[in-house]
Amino acid sequence: MEFDPMSRLIVISNRVSAPKGQSGAQGGLAVAFQAALREYRGIWFGWSGEPTDEFTGQINFQRSEGVTTATVDLEAQDIDEYYNGYANRTLWPLFHYRIDLAEFERGFEDGYQRVNERFADTVRPLIEQDDVVWVQDYHMIPLGHELRKRGCNNRMGFFLHIPWPPRRLLSSLPHAAELVTTLLAYDVIGFHTDEWLEAFRDYVTLDLGATMSEDGTIHLGDRSVKAIACPIGIDTKEFVEAATSTSARLTYRRMRDSADGRDLIVGVDRLDYSKGLEERFLGYERFLVDHPEQRKEVFLLQIAPPSRGEVGSYQRIRATLDALSGRINGAYADIDWVPIRYVNQGFPRHVLAGIYRAARIGLVTPLRDGMNLVAKEYVAAQDPEDPGVLILSRFAGAAEQMKDAVLVNPYSAEEMSDAIVQALAMPKDERIRRWRALMDGIEEKDVLWWRRRFTQELMGDDDSLAVAEQDKGA
């Protein structure tokens, strides 16, 4: 298929930029697209994060840092049923293997469908003949199908940023087959890992009766869809620069001064049950119990900005962590030392960069995670001469690429404790060797690699995308 060299990239996602007052808590998707979209002409469309009394479909265009965003406000009922409901009470827990937390309500399903139709009605007039459309994540699975119904024949891709669950688990979702079938309206479907890709192939071949050709193309009825694994990266170059900026240096110094010679272990996660924070605190407690001689030699800084606070399971995990951090600090603290600094606040990434660099250990232990960009940022921020050690959950998508981290089972407090001991004792040459291997990976497959890899699959030729105005002639 031939493409106009001036094709624009239309990215559609629920989250376009951080809601007011929540800077730092927007998660990896928004962060990744700020980096990836700066390079090309196009529009980034989605929800503003704001409520409105009545949905009008009025679009608010903004241009900031080289990216044009187009956002709409949603009614309170839409937000409740679509975002807090189907997206975050039904799909998110189920896709993160937490069927015990998944809520199945018809009202959520209806609201999800309604909002996807509203998005389709609103964005359709913005899409020109030669544009390429790229829809993001579990909030918008049926959007492509809705756009096709509205006569959109453009090339369309979909990327899932969270895990794809095993077939038997997905089967517990009412109308799973109908939902997954809508995905076949896209031309290319992307996942972060081979594991999620395999699980998707299992579902469409075994439950939907699709067939697969040798190159991995999936066929069902008159649809042929390419499904690929395409791991997202960070803006590595920018992050390395951020880690050595004046601001990061100041944060680094502040952290080192406050550490008072102790080793800093850092965790940075949205406050989400999928991030394994409760298990992390228990694993750290096990380390304190089993190694009393090391107690005052280290401390854990856990940064956990609140997320999705209107959803009950998020309120409960917050209360659990408040109690658990309080109990551990009460039990082990001394007059001059506190084992856990637990901070429910988001920080800008240039501050995080300084904190990562000051930390001897990056503790990234989700129970299940689509990718996890914090793991990659921690590595990018390290001092090449004296890098820290990444402890990474086997169940983060990032683990498929980051084999030189110290990999752990996050459910095992003993493994977590052993990993902390191993990381603290790790000789410098081994730290450097592991860091170099991890860094090579995140330099090679950064966020621009990810965007190019996906759009190449979608368009055959990434060069046909129109370059952003500010980049022309550069």
Ligand X SMILES: O=P(O)(O)OC[C@H]1O[C@H](O[C@H]2O[C@H](CO)[C@@H](O)[C@H](O)[C@H]2O)[C@H](O)[C@@H](O)[C@@H]1O
Ligand Y SMILES: O=c1ccn([C@@H]2O[C@H](COP(=O)(O)OP(=O)(O)O)[C@@H](O)[C@H]2O)c(=O)[nH]1
Rounded Cα distance, 371 and 395, in Å: 9
Selection from ligand Y, ligand X, none that 137 binds (CB < 5 to 8 A by kind) is ligand X
Which helix H or strand E contains 72, and what residues bound it? strand 67-75
Question: Residue 76 Cβ, how far from ligand X at the closest point, in Å?
Answer: 17
Nearest by Cα to 404 from 386, 423, 418: 423
Residue 35, classed as helix, strand or coil, is helix
Assess 349 for contact with ligand Y (CB under 6 A): yes
Question: Residue 242 Cβ, how far from ligand X at the closest point, in Å?
Answer: 18
Q: State the pairing for strand pair 217-220/223-229.
A: antiparallel
The CA-to-CA distance between both ends of the chain, in Å, stands at 29
Phi and psi based region of residue 457 (left: phi greater than 0; alpha: psi -120 to 50; beta: remaining): alpha
Residue number, 243 or 352, with CB nearest to ligand Y: 352
What lies within 8 Å, CB to CB, of 399 at 6+ separation is 392, 393, 405, 407
Selection from ligand Y, ligand X, none that 305 binds (CB < 5 to 8 A by kind) is ligand Y
Which helix H or strand E contains 433, and what residues bound it? helix 428-444
Strand blocks (E) in 93-206: 132-136, 156-159, 188-191
Q: Which residues bind ligand X (CB under 6 A)?
A: 15, 27-30, 32, 137, 161-162, 232, 307-308, 369-373
Q: State the pairing for strand pair 340-343/298-303.
A: parallel
Contact 284, 300 (CB under 8 A): yes
Selection from ligand Y, ligand X, none that 30 binds (CB < 5 to 8 A by kind) is ligand X
Nearest by Cα to 27 from 272, 329, 338, 335: 272
Measured in whole angstroms, the distance separating CA 35 from the mean position of its chain's CA atoms is 14
Question: Residue 374 Cβ, how far from ligand X at the closest point, in Å?
Answer: 8
Q: Which residues pair with 363 in a beta bridge?
A: 391
Contact with ligand Y (CB under 6 A): which of 268, 321, 328, 413?
268
Assess 188 for contact with ligand Y (CB under 6 A): no
Contact with ligand Y (CB under 6 A): which of 144, 163, 305, 339?
305
Q: Which residues pair with 217 in a beta bridge?
A: 226
Assess 371 for contact with ligand Y (CB under 6 A): yes
Assess 352 for contact with ligand Y (CB under 6 A): yes
Rounded Cα distance, 233 and 279, in Å: 26
Is 219 one of the annotated active-site residues of the chain?
A: no
Count the site residues for ligand Y by CB under 6 A: 18
C-beta nearest to ligand X: residue: 27
Find the catalytic residue in 137, 161, 187, 235.
161
Task: Name the CA dihedral angle for 10, 124, 46, 444, rounded to a multiple of 10 degrees.
Answer: -20
Contact with ligand Y (CB under 6 A): which of 24, 49, 163, 231?
24
Contact 188, 454 (CB under 8 A): yes
Selection from ligand X, ligand Y, none that 24 binds (CB < 5 to 8 A by kind) is ligand Y
Assess 373 for contact with ligand Y (CB under 6 A): yes
Structure-token pair, residue 346: 């988001």
Selection from ligand Y, ligand X, none that 446 binds (CB < 5 to 8 A by kind) is none
Assess 19 for contact with ligand Y (CB under 6 A): no
Assess 112 for contact with ligand Y (CB under 6 A): no
Contact 23, 346 (CB under 8 A): yes
Residue number, 282 or 364, with CB nearest to ligand Y: 364
Question: Residue 13 Cβ, how far from ligand X at the closest point, in Å?
Answer: 7
Question: Residue 204 Cβ, how far from ligand X at the closest point, in Å?
Answer: 21
Question: Residue 380 Cβ, how far from ligand Y at the closest point, in Å?
Answer: 11
Residue 7, classed as helix, strand or coil, is strand
Which helix H or strand E contains 315, and what residues bound it? helix 312-332
Contact with ligand Y (CB under 6 A): which of 183, 255, 303, 389?
303
Selection from ligand Y, ligand X, none that 308 binds (CB < 5 to 8 A by kind) is ligand X
Phi and psi based region of residue 449 (left: phi greater than 0; alpha: psi -120 to 50; beta: remaining): alpha
Residue number, 190 or 387, with CB nearest to ligand X: 190
Rounded Cα distance, 343 and 410, in Å: 21
Find the catalytic residue in 269, 369, 404, 446.
369
Residue number, 8 or 308, with CB nearest to ligand X: 308
Structure-token pair, residue 352: 């995080």
Question: Residue 49 Cβ, how far from ligand X at the closest point, in Å?
Answer: 9
Question: Residue 87 Cβ, how far from ligand X at the closest point, in Å?
Answer: 8
Residue number, 71 or 417, with CB nearest to ligand X: 71
Residue number, 36 or 132, with CB nearest to ligand X: 36
Residue number, 73 or 137, with CB nearest to ligand X: 137
Q: With 0-12 CB in 10 A as exposed, 13-18 as middle and 19+ as buried, what is 206?
A: exposed
Is 161 one of the annotated active-site residues of the chain?
A: yes
Q: Which stretch binds ligand Y (CB under 6 A): 126-134, 343-351, 401-409, 459-467?
A: 343-351
Question: Residue 31 Cβ, how far from ligand Y at the closest point, in Å?
Answer: 4
Contact 40, 467 (CB under 8 A): yes
**Which amino acids are annotated catalytic?**
161, 369
Interface residues with ligand Y (CB under 6 A)?
24, 27-29, 31, 268, 270, 303, 305, 346-347, 349, 352, 371-374, 377
